[in-house]
Structure 1
Amino acid sequence: MTDMRFDLILWGGTVVLPDRIAQVDIGVKDGKIAAIADRLPRGGCAEVDACGHVVVPGGVDSHCHIEQISGAGLMNADTFETATRSAAMGGTTTTVSFAAQHPGRMMDGVVRDYTALAARGALIDHAFHMIVSDTGNGNLERDIPALIAQGHRSIKVFTTYDKVRQDDKSILDLLILARDAGGVVCFHAENDGLIRHATAALVAAGQTGARYHAQSHPRAAEVEAIERMCHFAEYTGARIVIFHVSTTQGADIVQAAQARGVQVLAETCPHYLFMTEDVYARDDPARFVCSPPPRAVADQAALWDALAEGTIGMVTSDHAPYRMDASGKFAHGVDAPFTKIANGMPGLETRLPLMFDAMVSRGRMGLMAFAQVTATAPAQAFGLVGKGAIALGYDADLAMWDPMLRHTYGANDLHDNAGYNPYQGISVTGLPVTVLSRGDVIVADRCVVAKPGRGRWLPMAAPG
């Protein structure tokens, strides 16, 4: 073996492999991991000195909203260029965002439009979930099955929100279609009736400010909907993913369903692990409006336990950026009621540093678990072949972390276009300093050096 076989060698780092942590060298050829050895010969190719650093798989964020128009008609703040720039700075090398269908549109055209946007702007590799809001007009019979066959195997369903929510019959139809075609159905699971009832009571009482948002999404709404979707999956035999679990009870329901053999995976997000509903008592509650809302300290503890046990297998960002102005959160005015404030927060860039600080720097679960929940498990859940692990033949998606580098988040220090950081004032220890995507250095010394449009679309493989 000679170094001339490689395009790049990353050497001397503490590397998180699928089965162990080891100080090894990584040889890259044609964008793939071609060798992993105690020592590879130096010289003759590009080199990255990883001594004193931790090397983990590039993050896979399987839940982010990019260049997407909401059901209310608002474009979120990020283009594929700005969102994936921010993702790369945070150590993420693969995103799965949404091709969001609005009623009356054909799904094939929706996916085509988002594919073109990503092809122009994305710095990193990407796939899509299909948000299905209209199963009529041939979508259920023709477009969605054809798209699944092409590799768009993930369907996103809302059980609440005007214009996008699906009734139980439509959900069951989609579950059966996904089961038979080799797809997976992901759920924003909240009971629409409970949300409407709670919202009406708050409005009637004149409690309409952003600080009341959490009360409009009671935990019972999540609990009921997760339970129902698990029973639907059990009835149909379909594979499902429950997005953004926020409650103790939600995690318990998933665990019970998994024990019964239901094919259900679940994720949670940093804002449920690091925030509570107390954020709505701050002076600027609109910036934290998201659904489901952050809950209580006891829920945080339960979610961490569920991660440790494997009940919840993934941590994703649910990046949904809206600026704090008339283009976003305040489209209906700075004093808009919570019912008129865009839901979502930026999170692509902060997801991995927050989790690294908690899991590695503070010793909660450790490095291998960090790589598992932020990269390996999301890649496996959605059939992203060659992503999410440092292994021979995999894409050379590598994030080199300085485990001692400390940063306190500022008011607007992210690389997206949201214009604010919801984690302002929080300090983290450990940041990615060099990031590779398919062997290309896309972040060097904490500076993005990749060009828009270099990212590739990833087909989702059929389940084995």
Structure 2
Amino acid sequence: MSAEFDLVVRNAKVATASDTFMSDIGVAGGQIVQLGVKLSKGAREIDAEGRITTPGGIDAHCHFDQPIPPPARMADDFESGTRSAACGGTTTVIPFAAQQKGGSLRAAVDDYHRRANGRASIDYGFHLIVTDPTPEVVANELPALIAQGYSSFKIYMTYDDLKLDDGQILRLLALARSHGAMAMLHAENTECIAWLTENLLEAGLTAPRYHATSRPMLVEREATHRAISLAELVDVPVLIVHVSGREAVEQIQWARSRGLTVLSETCPQYLFLTADDLGIDDGYKGAKCVCSPPPRDAANQQVIWGALADGTFTVFSSDHAPFSFDDDLGKKPGGGEVAFPYIPNGIPGLETRLPLLYSEGVLTGRISLNRFVELTATNPAKTYGLHPRKGTIAIGSDADIVVWDEHRTPLTNSMLHHAVDYTPYEGWALDAWPAYTIARGDVVWDGRQFLGTPGRGWFLPRGLPTIVPRKPPGNGGK
């Protein structure tokens, strides 16, 4: 007698964004086809033994093999990046196809497909990065791409090769409103950063730690407020990415209190790193933690934890931007130590995102298990047009499943599967790691080794966003 299911996960303590229940999970054809107790036999069986079982994570903000100005180059391509994601419990990623100034947006998408084809071991979509909103891009290219499943795009308010002015931002927000797309904004005031940087360099203050000095919270606060104001003028939802601390959080809560639809994202670096990780002296090791916005201080970490718990944040992403440290294409461009403005921005975090949040969020009681699922799977799926296919454990959804193993493990870079030569979380004691990662019904990580294959991941055209943010309690919830 043939098995009724391709796979059965038995005795699982299933957690979704809204419920926690005991169940077997029956999988056939890459989808969840039955939930219940004492399901029929599967061709393969995994006994979860009452362990917590969650939907596969969706990392909706990560960077792989993204074209950037020389001499820097990202360490992870779609093969190593998706391998690392799977081993950390992530089953879907959405990296960025970045338009080059003077080039077409369609050309950027075509190039990114070439970089991804045959390499991804888990499913993926693309956000767009719009750096040159010409009349052709705004009138034709971007609307056509949104209709074809590239339903979100990122706008930068800083970086010389990426930033847009307010007029350009307004035109793109108007387009997002008319076509139902999700506009994401990197909110930092570029002129303030340039002025501070110039003054620091003139004073000979060039070490990595001065990166944080050049980007104080007020530059994020001002840009966040301005982004919200532009969105209010157009009357369109927006998502503020990688929010780092109290002042930007307060702007988002203020906007919510006025009834504006402002979604927000934060990342592990704002929970687990501080400005001291960029260096307390003029040594270069702090280059490992140079990212924008920079990590703040311990008091701001607590603000971010509180905003994760109270509903201020919509999604929790890694902002994985992989540059190796001892590499003349990475944090030492050209082969040597450089002044802080020339250190490639970004840190690795794709594989460690879920274990860190589960260990220090769920297991310490800072956030609930259901909130963990909401932040890392369900809300990303809803925000970026993948729900209910992704982001939940339900009949008809893709069989993207993580079975968790709770035990203490010191984190070392040698245990990770990315192509970066360090992790900023080296030595952190983790209390959880995936025992199994199942992607569309295939076991791609069994707690010991990666079992996926390059090319098994599918490109996912996405629908339009379906999420409205919760208002936080207290003053922010009026």
Mark yes or no: TM-score above 0.5. yes
> Which deviations, in whole Å up to 9, do the C-alpha atoms of 1:271-297 show, x marking residues without a partner?
001111111226510101111000011
Contact between 1:81 and 1:122, CA under 8 Å: does it hold in 2?
yes
Partner of 2:197: 199
Q: Distance in 2 between matches of 1:168 and 1:368?
A: 38
Q: Tell me, which stretches of 5 or more residues in structure 1 are unaligned?
A: none
Aligned residue pairs: how many? 461
Percent identity among equivalent residues? 43
**Amino acid in structure 1 at the alignment position of 2:409:** H
- How is 1:208-227 mapped onto 2 (pairs within 5 angstroms)? 208-227=206-225
Query: Shift of the alpha carbon at 1:462?
Result: 2.1
Change in CA separation of 1:438 and 1:311 when aligned onto 2, cut-off 3 Å: same
Partner of 1:359: 361
**Which of 380, 383, 392 in structure 2 is aligned with 1:381?**
383
Instruction: Specify the code of the residue in structure 2 equivalent to 1:226.
Output: T
Equivalent in the alignment of 1:428: 430
**Cα offset for 1:15?**
1.1
Residue 392 of structure 1 corresponds to 395
* Structure 2: distance between partners of 1:150 and 1:44: 37
> Contact 2:129/2:153 (CA < 8 Å) preserved in 1?
yes
Deviations 1:282-329 (A, max 9, x none): 651010111100001111111111111111121100000001110111
Distance 1:72-1:247 versus aligned 2 partners, 3 A rule? farther
8 Å contact kept, 1:133–1:157: yes
The corresponding residue for 1:265 is: 263
Pick closer, same or farther for the CA change 1:412–1:168 going to 2, 3 Å.
same
C-alpha distance in structure 2 between counterparts of 1:17 and 1:170, whole Å? 39
Range 255-264 or range 142-151, more displaced: 255-264
* Alignment correspondent of 2:295: 294
Counterparts in 2 of 1:416 and 1:114: CA distance versus 1, 3 Å: same
State which drifts further: 288-297 or 67-76.
67-76
Partner of 2:337: 335
| Aligned residue identity for 1:243 | V
Does residue 187 of structure 1 match 2:185? yes
Letter in 2 for 1:211: R
Deviation at 1:333, TM superposition (A): 4.1
Query: 2:469 — aligned with what?
Result: none
Change (3 A) 1:369 1:197: same
TM-score of the superposition, structure 2-length normalised? 0.94
Give the CA deviation at 1:3: 8.3
The residue that corresponds to 1:285 in the other structure is 286
* Separation in 1, partners of 2:134, 2:363: 50
Residues of 2 paired with 1:124 and 1:12: CA distance? Answer: 25
Find the residue that maps to 1:76 and give its secondary structure: coil
Superposed structure 1 runs of 4+ greater than 4 Å apart: none
Contact 2:189 2:222 in 1 (8 A): yes
- Within 5 Å, which residues of 2 pair with 1:433-444? 433-444=435-446
Partner of 1:228: 226
How much does 1:446 deviate? 2.8
| Shift in Å, 1:6 | 1.6
- Distance, in Å, in 1 between the alignment partners of 2:21 and 2:170 is 46
C-alpha distance in structure 2 between counterparts of 1:373 and 1:358, whole Å? 14
Deviations 1:374-406 (A, max 9, x none): 111111111113111111111100011112x22
* 1:108-145 Cα shifts (integer Å, max 9, x gaps): 11111112322221111111110111111611111111
Tell me how far apart the structure 2 counterparts of residues 129 and 44 of structure 1 sit (CA, whole Å).
37
Task: Give the aligned residue type for 1:291.
Answer: S
Instruction: Extract unaligned runs of 5+ from structure 2.
Output: 467-478
| Kept after mapping to 2: 8 A contact 1:18/1:391 | no
Give 2:219's aligned amino acid: A
Q: Which moved more, 1:430-439 or 1:332-341?
A: 332-341
1:219-270 residue CA offsets vs partner (Å, 9 max, x unmatched) = 1110000000011111111221100000101011111112222221001000
TM-score of the pair, normalised by structure 1: 0.96
CA shift, 1:75, in A, is: 2.2
- Helix, strand or coil: the match of 2:460? coil
CA contact (8 A) 1:125 1:458 kept: yes
Does structure 2 conserve the Cα–Cα contact (< 8 Å) formed by 1:71 and 1:162? no
Q: Which residue does 2:317 correspond to in 1?
A: 316
User: Match for residue 175 of structure 1?
Assistant: 173
Match of 1:157 in 2: 155
Aligned counterpart, 1:19? 18
Structure 2 partner of 1:7: 6
TM-aligned CA distance change 1:446 to 1:137, over 3 Å: farther
- Between the aligned partners of 1:73 and 1:233, the Cα distance in structure 2 is 36
SS in 2 for 1:45: strand
Say if 1:396 and 1:439, in contact at 8 Å, map to a contact too: yes
Distance 1:205 1:110 in 2: 40
Counterparts in 2 of 1:3 and 1:389: CA distance versus 1, 3 Å: farther
Distance 1:336 1:17 in 2: 46
* CA distance in structure 1 between the aligned counterparts of 2:237 and 2:414, rounded to whole angstroms: 39
- In structure 1, give the amino acid aligned to 2:168: S
Query: 8 Å contact 2:378–2:390 — kept in the other structure?
Result: yes
Query: Aligned partners of 1:40, 1:213: CA distance in 2, in Å?
Result: 56
Contact 2:409 2:430 in 1 (8 A): yes
From 106, 116, 119, give the equivalent of 2:117: 119
Checking the alignment, whether the CA contact within 8 Å between 1:413 and 1:420 is kept in structure 2 is no
Distance 2:461 2:163 in 1: 26
8 Å Cα contact 1:125-1:455 kept in structure 2:
yes
The CA RMSD measured in Å over matched residues stands at 1.5
Distance 1:169 1:245 in 2: 23
